[in-house]
Amino acid sequence: MRPSDILELTDVNERVRRMSRRLIPLCQGEGLLARSAGVQSFFALNLLRGEISNGSFRQYFSNSSGDTWPLARRGLTGSSVAAMFQAALALFPTGEPSLDRAKRLAQLADVDVPLLAALGSRLVEVDAEIVDAMSRLLAAHKDEFAFIDRYPNGFKALSFPVPIDLAELSVDDPFRLITAAFASLHDKGGPRGPIERRFLDVFLLADEVSVAGFESYLFTHAADRHIDALGALRGLALDDTAALLDAAIAMVPGTLADDTVPRRVQLASLPAASRATLELLTRDFQAHRLPLAVALARYVSAHLSVFAA
């Protein structure tokens, strides 16, 4: 769906969701720096929503997403949520978080964690108001989003559900093929057997680490199947990528829990040095993005009858 078509959608949530999906592979990391002010603020609010709904303000400020808080604050200007967000910023020792992640992690040690958590919970409750702020950004800066048409590919760059015949796609366009396969699973309500399950384990790992990093992946429900993802990577002969996941798992003291709640407790006690190592592992993983996509595309092609059924 073209940006102009997305902007014409009458459902605010659908409009924001589809535009967010299209922006993810285009604005991650340094890609955000190349975007216009309106796009930056919109995507920063998307990052804020994702981190808060998936974890907490602590997760948001611990991750690289927290580097974008000035853009998120700008995007909330004039909304009723602005004061709540500013209250969270004011909890930091200097009155606002550092833009340097390592320094921000050190600052978090002196933040009132229960109050920060309470503010995060309140922000989740008023998520609709953040969506409204994002919708207003789309309307006010609609011409700035036209650049998306130049970049049709990415792990989740295609808005789903995608009405595409998988048989018409080729491994020569791996991102489009695996995104369509993911959309197909989404439409079917999830994987129906081990072949689709292996694909999904790797796809969700790749998507989360590509967008938000290893720490974010380990924090999410997708990492409940980290052992399966590791086996699937090795089955695809992606030994270098598997080694990176193995190294990321080893950063967590003890045996990494395969249940989300205890694993988040483990992650909360990670020292700054381990978080920094996870960041380095993330960069190495992202450098393997294309060969990983190609391997997944070949896997889908080899099992096309399963995915297309």
pLDDT tens string 182-195: 877 766 777 889 99
Lowest mean pLDDT: which of 136-145, 204-213, 290-299? 204-213
Which of 121, 150, 179 terminates a domain? The answer is 150
Average pLDDT over residues 90-115: 90
157 band by pLDDT with thresholds 50, 70 and 90: very low
Does position 173 have pLDDT exceeding 50, yes or no? yes
Local structure of residue 2 (DSSP, 8 states): -
At residue 237, the pLDDT reads 93
**Domain contains 161:** no
Question: Does residue 160 lie in a domain region?
Answer: no
pLDDT (mean) for 250-263: 89
Q: 131 pLDDT exceeds 90?
A: yes
Name the residue type at position 309: A
Token pair for residue 78? 């004039």
Q: Is the pLDDT of residue 24 over 80?
A: no
Note the pLDDT of residue 2: 73
Is 155 among the domain residues? no
Same domain, 142 and 170: no
Q: Are residues 146 and 170 in the same domain?
A: no
Tell me: do 26 and 61 sit in the same domain.
yes
How many domains does the structure of the chain reveal?
A: 2
Nearest to 112 by CA among 176, 184, 57, 191: 57
In a domain, 206, yes or no: yes
Is 184 part of any domain?
yes
Q: Same domain for 57 and 184?
A: no
Q: What is the mean pLDDT of residues 153-166?
A: 44
Answer whether residue 154 shows pLDDT above 50: no
Q: Please state, in angstroms and as integers, the Cα–Cα distance from residue 176 to each residue in 22, 140, 182, 202, following that order.
A: 13, 30, 10, 16
Predicted pLDDT of residue 160: 37
| End position of a domain, from candidates 120, 150, 180 | 150
Residue 240 pLDDT exceeds 90 = yes
d(CA 54, CA 123): 12
Question: Average pLDDT in the 291-308 region?
Answer: 89
Q: What is the mean pLDDT of residues 144-162?
A: 55
CA distances from 140 to 5, 7, 41, 76, 173 (A): 16, 11, 12, 13, 34
Task: Provide the pLDDT confidence category of residue 28 given band limits of 50, 70 and 90.
Answer: low
Residues 67 and 112 in one domain: yes
- Give the pLDDT confidence score for residue 1 in this predicted structure: 62
Question: Would residue 96 count as lying in a domain?
Answer: yes
212 plus 283 within the same structural domain: yes
* In-domain check, residue 291: yes
Q: Which of 85, 84, 79, 88 is nearest to 129 (CA)?
A: 79
pLDDT, mean of residues 229-248: 94
| Residue 199 sits in the same domain as residue 73 | no
Please indicate, yes or no, if residue 158 is contained in any of the structural domains. no
Task: Give me the pLDDT at residue 126, please.
Answer: 92
CA 308 centroid distance within chain: 26
Confidence check: pLDDT of 151 > 60: no
**262 Cβ contact list (under 8 Å, min separation 6):** none
pLDDT at residue number 164: 53
pLDDT bracket for residue 207 (50, 70, 90): confident
Q: What is the mean pLDDT of residues 28-55?
A: 84
Same domain? For 23 and 116 the reply is yes
What pLDDT was estimated at residue 31? Answer: 65
Domain match, 137 and 188 both: no
Residue 267 confidence class, pLDDT cut points 50, 70, 90: confident
Range of the domain at 59: 3-150
Domain boundary among 150, 178, 204: 150
Rounded to the nearest integer, the mean pLDDT of the chain is: 85
Record the pTM: 0.54
How confident is the model at residue 178, as a pLDDT? Answer: 85
Assess whether 44 and 182 both reside in one domain.
Answer: no
Q: Are 8 and 104 members of one domain?
A: yes
| Residue-level pLDDT at 166 | 62
State mean pLDDT over 105-133: 91
Residues 76 and 102 in one domain: yes
Q: How many C-beta atoms lie closer than 10 Å to residue 121's C-beta?
A: 12
